[in-house]
Amino acid sequence: MSRVVAVVVTFQPERSRLARALERLRPQVAAIVVVDNSDDAQAPVLEAPTAEGVELIANGRNLGIGQAQNQGIARARALGATHVLLMDQDSLAPPGLVPSLLHTLAAAGAQPPVALVGPVCRDVKTGATLALIRHDGWRVRRLRPEPRGGAVPVDYLPASGSLIPLGALDRLGPLREDYFIDRVDVEWCLRARRRGWAVLVDCGVELRHDLGRRPVRLLGRTVYVGHDFRAGYHVRNSIAMALRAPIALRWRIDQLLKTPLYLVFYTAVAEGGRLRQARRLLRAVCDGVAGRLGPQPPPT
């Protein structure tokens, strides 16, 4: 029998929205572990942190997404979980999310082993679905999910909504903590793919998710942009992943070739000044090459 424990990572969440997200999720899982990275541990993120089946780990400071997820996964193990469902604070689970993901996982069989299965992500602001990313030889394909397309193999997925067997984490290792807040999910998926594990999308279920603060059109595609400081993590961790992570050569080359585009794009769309952003990104490149990871200091 499968026992699914949800791990929800929060950072200064809106309490009413979080309560709604947990209410949607609670009937589908055995338990929920909320790991809060908010700076103020004295301001509880839950109205009733002792509610049945919901636990709170309050860190009192931002330890990063990878460390928070690993904390939640460790607690899920202690609660007897066979699978963990990773969720963000702004993701609303539809009815039947977990049963559908479990069914897809079971139907996939054991060869190749499945590292994780996730839903189709639909942005709450634009209503658009996130493209499915898969390498075809040396070409990156961006696929549009078909509503009744069944399970589709991809190379990586956003963490939110991902169902992961704990056995996969045992074999593939934990999430990267030193990346802090960006590319953590991508690196873990590409690590799994490099070792022959499958990453699947269940096209029969959708997760509404806030993919970024604002959508920006670039070369005919919609790119979701967050706060300026997130760009530094994206650039630094993409370079670090390309140079050192155990991923396929084609993805190493892909990330390095995209670095100049990242630099131009993130500088152009910066909200806090382009010169300031350019300095941040230059430092991010140097840190990525040198392997200086962890939380970034604020730009000067």
What's the confidence (pLDDT) of residue 278?
A: 96
Six token digits for residue 75: 């607690």
Q: Please report which confidence band the pLDDT of residue 287 belongs to, taking 50, 70 and 90 as the band edges.
A: very high
Strands 221-225 and 214-218 turn out to be antiparallel
Model confidence at 205: pLDDT above 60: yes
CA angle 206, 180, 242 (to 5 degrees): 85
What's the confidence (pLDDT) of residue 150?
A: 86
| pLDDT-above-90 percentage for the chain | 73
What's the confidence (pLDDT) of residue 1?
A: 83
CB 30 within 8 A of CB 79: yes
H or E segment to which residue 226 belongs: none
Model confidence at 28: pLDDT above 60: yes
Which residue blocks in 217-248 are alpha helix, DSSP H?
A: 228-244
CB 38 within 8 A of CB 45: yes
| Dist CA 185 CA 197 (whole Å) | 15
H or E segment to which residue 1 belongs: none
Model confidence at 281: pLDDT above 70: yes
Global pTM?
Answer: 0.93
Residue 196 backbone class (left: φ over 0; alpha: ψ -120 to 50; beta: rest): left
What's the confidence (pLDDT) of residue 159?
A: 95
Model confidence at 42: pLDDT above 80: no
Model confidence at 146: pLDDT above 90: no
Structural domains of the chain in order of their starting residue, each with its CATH number: 4-209 (3.90.550.10), 214-290 (no CATH)
- Give the distance, in angstroms, between the CA of residue 268 and the centroid of all CA atoms in the same chain: 25
Q: Where are the beta strands (DSSP E) in the chain?
A: 4-10, 31-36, 54-58, 83-88, 114-123, 132-136, 139-143, 151-154, 162-165, 198-209, 214-218, 221-225
What's the confidence (pLDDT) of residue 259?
A: 96
Q: Please report which confidence band the pLDDT of residue 123 belongs to, taking 50, 70 and 90 as the band edges.
A: confident
What integer best gives the mean pLDDT of the chain? 92
Across the range 26-38, mean pLDDT stands at: 96
Across the range 252-260, mean pLDDT stands at: 96
